[in-house]
């Protein structure tokens, strides 16, 4: 889809609080999902991934939840820190090939 | 060692010019991509190459021509640049799993 008319969603959280970032994906045939973090002036960096046969996966301070019924992903960040301030993207991979499509992104600001 | 490196990091040019962006990956991946990120941070796939062969061409004007001399390199050549081409262009690579991104090329067309 195109970005015309879309605005980057924003989320502000207090340092130490938990953050939840949501993403709706489009293709029910997607078999693999990834969350990326993009800091200013840098390329997106991998945070955590999940396959479509799972509904939850935990990493260090991060948890990804997958709800295939409503095509929804969420990223939970525990004890959010100032270094977590960035734009976060979800990406889905089509099961027909090695193609990754990105969601709109959410800008997270952590207030010290 | 940088896994995915692209050059230049900044590119400022006049409308109508032709320019190229280069990308190299040292991860041994078979698949490379070009993504365009607009001012609203929306990341859109442009091209995907697998082992030097074009897999995806997502409604990109034919002024954009990717070239893959070998599977470690995927360059992007843009002819007759337009104002709307101003964006950040990211190269990426993958091997069936996560994407690894370069640091981006910020293209400004004046």
What domain range includes position A100? 10-111
The structure tokens 């340092």 sit at A15
Cβ-defined contact of A46 to B102 (cutoff 8 Å): no
Per-residue pLDDT reduced to its tens digit, B65-82: 999 999 899 999 999 999
Q: Which residue of A2, A7, A98 is in closest CB contact with B96?
A: A98
Domain for residue A3, yes or no?
no
A chain contacts of residue B32, beta-carbon cutoff 8 Å: none
Per-residue pLDDT reduced to its tens digit, A58-112: 999 999 999 999 999 999 999 999 999 999 999 998 777 678 889 889 999 999 9
CATH of the domain at A47: 2.60.40.10
The structure tokens 């090695």 sit at A98
Cβ of B25 under 8 Å from any chain A Cβ?
no
Cβ atoms within 10 Å, residue B4: 23
Q: Which CATH superfamily is domain B4-109 in?
A: Immunoglobulins (2.60.40.10)
Domain for residue A19, yes or no?
yes
Cβ-defined contact of A43 to B48 (cutoff 8 Å): no
The number of distinct structural domains making up chain A is 1
Q: Give the integer Cα–Cα distance in Å for B66 and B76.
A: 4
| Beta carbons within 8 Å of B108's beta carbon, 6+ residues apart | B10, B11, B12, B13, B86
Domain boundaries, chain B: 4-109
């Amino acid at each position: 889809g195109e970005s015309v008319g879309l605005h980057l969603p924003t989320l502000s959280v207090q340092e130490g609080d938990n953050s939840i970032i949501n993403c709706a994906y489009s293709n029910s045939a997607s078999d693999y999902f990834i969350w990326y973090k993009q800091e200013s002036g840098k390329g997106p960096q991998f945070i955590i991934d999940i396959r479509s046969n799972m509904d939850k996966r935990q990493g260090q301070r991060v948890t990804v939840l997958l709800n295939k019924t409503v095509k929804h992903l969420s990223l939970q960040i525990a004890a959010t820190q100032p270094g977590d301030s960035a734009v976060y993207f979800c990406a889905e991979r089509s099961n027909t090939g090695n193609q990754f499509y990105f969601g709109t992104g959410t800008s997270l600001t952590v207030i010290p | 060692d940088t896994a995915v490196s692209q050059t230049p990091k900044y590119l400022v040019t006049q409308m109508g010019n032709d320019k190229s962006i280069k990308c190299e990956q040292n991860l041994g991946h078979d698949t490379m991509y070009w993504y365009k990120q607009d001012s609203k941070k929306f990341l859109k796939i442009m091209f995907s190459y697998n082992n030097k062969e074009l897999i995806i061409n997502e409604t990109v004007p034919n002024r954009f021509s990717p070239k893959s001399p070998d599977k470690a390199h995927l360059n992007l050549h843009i002819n007759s640049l337009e104002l709307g081409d101003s964006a950040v262009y990211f190269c990426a690579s993958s091997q069936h799993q996560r994407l690894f991104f370069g640091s981006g090329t910020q293209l400004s067309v004046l």
